[in-house]
Amino acid sequence: MTTVSATRTTADPVPPQQLQQDVGAVLDCIAGGGVAVVPLDVAYAVNAATAGGIRRIFDAKQRSYEKPSGMFANYQMSREIHQMEDWKHDLVQNIVERENIPFSVVAPFDKEHGFFASVEPFVLSSSSKAGTLDMLLNAGQFHNEIARQSWQRQMPVFGSSANTSLAGSKYTYADIEPPVREAASIHFDYGRSLYANPEGRSSTIIDFRDFSVIRIGVVFDRVQAAFAKHGNVELRLPAN
Whole-model pTM: value is: 0.94
The whole-number pLDDT of residue 178 equals 95
**Whole-number pLDDT of residue 6:** 54
The CA-to-CA distance between both ends of the chain, in Å, stands at 41
For 5-37, what is each residue's pLDDT tens digit? 558 999 999 999 999 999 999 999 999 999 999
- Residue 215: the pLDDT is 95
Label residue 114 exposed, middle or buried (CB < 10 Å: 0-12, 13-18, 19+).
exposed
Burial class (CB in 10 A: 0-12, 13-18, 19+), 186: middle
Asked if residue 43 lies in contact with residue 173, where contact means CB atoms within 8 angstroms, the answer is no
What is the model's pLDDT at position 1? 47
**What pLDDT shows up at residue 165?**
80
Rounded CA separation 12/4 (Å): 11
Provide the CATH topology of domain 16-231. Answer: DHBP synthase (3.90.870)
38 in Cβ contact with 44 (< 8 Å): yes
Q: Which contiguous run of DSSP H or E holds residue 159?
A: strand 158-161
State the pairing for strand pair 128-129/132-137.
Answer: antiparallel
User: What residue ranges of the chain have pLDDT lower than 50?
Assistant: 1-3
The reported pLDDT for the residue numbered 239 is 75
Name the residue ranges covered by the structural domains of the chain: 16-231
At residue 129, the 3 state secondary structure works out as strand
